[in-house]
């Protein structure tokens, strides 16, 4: 994939997927749209570039940090009152917006991580409880 020749890289192409336990889930990266016209290119890039650069290890560490210090990491994005799923989702979307602006692409590691997490309402419910406890 090349930023000068492949227009599709300006759209979000990958997302994280969380499976299992809240505290220590299995995390993977998947192509968002399995019907994408460039699926072969996306899968090749995922397996030959993205995954070989240790994104999974980074996501595991990032998830741990979010669970233990998420109140500080998201401080500027969360309201002072107790959070629910909607509040966590809004905070993560705002945080993701800053990461996309910082890196200039929706395909940075932070955005890939957050895009999948934002869609996982069950995990967000537990994260809201965790963040509320950290701020108590």
Assigned domain for 88 exists:
yes
CA–CA distances in Å: residue 120 to residues 84, 101, 107? 13, 23, 19
Assigned domain for 2 exists:
no
Instruction: Work out the percent of the chain whose per-residue pLDDT is above 90.
Output: 85
Cα 65 from Cα 59, distance rounded (Å)? 10
Print the domain residue range for 116: 7-135
Structure confidence at residue 59 as a pLDDT band (50, 70, 90) = very high
Assigned domain for 84 exists:
yes
pLDDT in tens, 92-132: 999 999 999 999 999 999 999 999 999 999 999 999 999 99
- pLDDT at 136 (0 to 100): 87
Assigned domain for 59 exists:
yes
Assigned domain for 94 exists:
yes
Q: Please tell me which residue, 93 or 1, carries the higher pLDDT value.
A: 93
Total domain count for the chain?
A: 1
Those residues with Cβ within 8 angstroms of residue 36's Cβ, 6 or more apart along the chain or in another chain: 8, 13, 42
Assigned domain for 87 exists:
yes
Looking at residues 17-33, what average pLDDT do you find?
Answer: 95
Q: Is the pLDDT assigned to residue 6 strictly greater than 60? A: no
Looking at residues 4-13, what average pLDDT do you find?
Answer: 69
CA–CA distances in Å: residue 9 to residues 13, 32, 108, 113, 131? 7, 12, 11, 17, 33
Assigned domain for 12 exists:
yes
Instruction: Work out the percent of the chain whose per-residue pLDDT is above 70.
Output: 93
> Which of 121, 119, 99, 97 has its CA nearest to residue 110?
99
- pLDDT at 3 (0 to 100): 45
Assigned domain for 15 exists:
yes
């Amino acid at each position: 994939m090349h930023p000068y020749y492949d227009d599709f890289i300006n759209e979000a192409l990958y997302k994280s997927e969380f499976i299992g336990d809240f505290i220590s889930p299995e995390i993977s990266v998947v192509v968002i749209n399995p019907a994408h016209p460039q699926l072969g290119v996306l899968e090749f890039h995922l397996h030959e570039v993205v995954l070989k650069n240790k994104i999974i290890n980074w996501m595991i560490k990032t998830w741990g940090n979010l669970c233990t210090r998420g109140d500080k990491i998201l401080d500027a994005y969360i309201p002072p009152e107790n959070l629910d799923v909607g509040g966590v989702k809004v905070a993560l979307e705002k945080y993701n917006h800053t990461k996309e602006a910082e890196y200039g692409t929706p395909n940075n590691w932070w955005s890939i991580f957050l895009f999948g997490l934002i869609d996982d309402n069950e995990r967000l419910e537990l994260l809201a409880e965790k963040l509320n406890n950290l701020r108590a």
